Amino acid sequence: MEKARTATGLQKVGKYEILYPLGQGSTSVVYLAKDPFINRKVALKLFNESLLRQAVSKKLAQRIFANEAALVGQFQHPHIVEVYDAILDSSQGFLVMEYVPGGTLEPFCEVSRLLPITQTVEIIFKCVRALEYAYQRGVIHRDIKPANILRTTTGDIKVSDFGSAVSDQMEETQLSGVGSPAYMAPEQLREDLLSQQSDIYSLGLVMYQLLTGHYPYSAASNVELAYQILHRDPPPPSLYRSEIPTAIDQLVMRAIAKDPAQRYCQWQDMGEALLALSSLSAPVPTITETKKFKAIQDLSFFQNFDEILIWEVLRITTWHQYPQGTRIIREGDIGDSFFIITQGEVEVLRGDRLLTQLRAGDCFGEMLYFQDTSAVRTTSVCVKSDTTVIEIQANRLNRSSDACQVEFNKAFLKILDKKIARLVALVADD
């Protein structure tokens, strides 16, 4: 493997130019690097050479490397760090990953830097969806902790470091000596057979820390810590932060229940509980990402969109809440966006003539999407009862992935089909 110093003094690993270290873990150092062929910044995880050489840890280190390497190209989820490449020779191994520039969630577990409760709920919801996605592909992460959840510059999150993961493809599903004891579920400490519930426990603990800035146990040694994890009941999060509502206390305590039978059974259950919370924790008329995700997922328009595409839709939409009587679009206006109603009811008018009424799931303005440039609206749309709509600009949709555009086109075709059927029925009645 090529590993040399460049003229600037920076190291080169393989074809990658090392820029500077981003962080260090127990088995590796992660660098910001550049892939010169496609001029892309990447995170390059260089596994500790001495670990790979030492007989005792060699097998474990190789296994950790192999775990992450197995994910090359496997997970494509907006909230999981993508692994682009993995290279191993006799002395060294490295992984090339998507670079996530905003650091980890660790600093937000400090009392002085706590995030708003709604934001924490959203972060945990995204982790739940990411880990459910991994679980559906047979993978349990086993090392969920704040340091393994990375932040983008816009505050979004990505789960990283699947080095401790177990997969249903492995012959050996128990792997000792990996994971962080502080976040291990009781059954993981006991080395019982693991399920998604051990990741649920660890994520519950992350939520606890993000909400309170406190780790629920305090022990002088790993043995004492293990005892507390197995036997001591932690206080509810609201003890540390009084604004935490009871429902959130209950959710966290259920996620970190010592007995798996008392814990959420599966990711879906925890996801639903978080969704129920998002309405509790948003008293102001803003729409949280958690609610937006659910609203989009529930619309028949998006019924054939998979989860990845729904996250993509979320990125290209603008949400509006309109009170009764608002005119959303006006006949004669120039526009290039179309709208999908998520809640409420609107009237479509030409002049003073009522053409039709539309409700949740219906869309309007879509005909302009099929034109290449902005065009004149031929109808007005007025809010009949308080309404929430998502707006999608044609030029943003045109820049989305091919898969996303294909699904939109299919959904529009279905709508067109229904409209034609309605017209045919009208003509037949005449």
Ligand X SMILES: Nc1ncnc2c1ncn2[C@@H]1O[C@H](COP(=O)(O)OP(=O)(O)OP(=O)(O)O)[C@@H](O)[C@H]1O
List strand residue ranges (DSSP E) for 7-148, in order: 11-13, 16-24, 28-35, 40-47, 83-88, 93-98, 139-140
User: Minimum distance between the CB of residue 42 and ligand X, rounded to whole angstroms?
Assistant: 8
Q: Is 251 in the site for ligand X (CB under 6 A)?
A: no
Q: Is 99 in the site for ligand X (CB under 6 A)?
A: yes
Q: Which residue, 74 or 400, has its beta carbon nearer to ligand X?
A: 74
> Exactly one of 14, 23, 213, 236 binds ligand X (CB under 6 A); which one?
23
Strand-pair category, 363-364 with 28-35:
unpaired
Q: Is 104 in the site for ligand X (CB under 6 A)?
A: yes
CA–CA separation, 208 and 339 (whole Å)? 38
The partner residues of 12 in beta bridges, in order of sequence, read 4, 17
Encoded one letter per residue, x for contact with ligand X by CB under 6 A and - for no contact, window 141-170 reads: --x---xx-x---------xx-x-------
Indicate if 89 belongs to the active site.
no
Catalytic residue among 35, 85, 89, 143: 143
Q: Is 97 in the site for ligand X (CB under 6 A)?
A: yes
Q: Is 81 in the site for ligand X (CB under 6 A)?
A: yes
> Exactly one of 17, 28, 128, 151 binds ligand X (CB under 6 A); which one?
28
| Cα 91 to chain centroid, rounded | 35
Q: Is 181 in the site for ligand X (CB under 6 A)?
A: no
> Exactly one of 6, 26, 250, 395 binds ligand X (CB under 6 A); which one?
26
Q: Is 337 in the site for ligand X (CB under 6 A)?
A: no
Question: By Cβ distance, which residue is nearest to ligand X?
Answer: 25
Q: Which residue, 148 or 188, has its beta carbon nearer to ligand X?
A: 148
Give 206's DSSP letter: H
Q: Is 25 in the site for ligand X (CB under 6 A)?
A: yes
CA-based R_g, the chain, Å: 25
Encoded one letter per residue, x for contact with ligand X by CB under 6 A and - for no contact, window 37-76 reads: ------x-x-------------------------------
Task: Give the alpha-carbon dihedral of 344, 349, 355, 357, to 10 degrees.
Answer: 0
Is 45 annotated to bind a ligand? Reply is: yes
CA–CA separation, 21 and 29 (whole Å)? 7
HSE toward the beta carbon, residue 131, CA cutoff 13 A: 37
CA–CA separation, 157 and 178 (whole Å)? 23
Name the one range near ligand X by CB under 6 A: 20-28, 246-254, 330-338, 358-366.
20-28
> Exactly one of 13, 18, 22, 130 binds ligand X (CB under 6 A); which one?
22
Tell me the CA distances in angstroms from 356 to 62, 205, 346, 352, 382, one per residue in order: 65, 51, 9, 12, 11
Q: Which residue, 182 or 367, has its beta carbon nearer to ligand X?
A: 182
Candidates 196, 208, 76; CA nearest to 140 is 196
Tokens of 293: 């995700």
Q: Which residue, 147 or 211, has its beta carbon nearer to ligand X?
A: 147
Name the one range near ligand X by CB under 6 A: 98-106, 214-222, 248-256, 344-352.
98-106
The amino acid present at 99, given as its one-letter code, is: Y
Candidates 187, 234, 183, 188; CA nearest to 204 is 183
Binding-site positions for ATP read 45
Residues forming the active site: 143
**Residues engaged in binding ligand X (CB under 6 A):** 22-28, 30, 43, 45, 81, 97-100, 104, 143, 147-148, 150, 160-161, 163
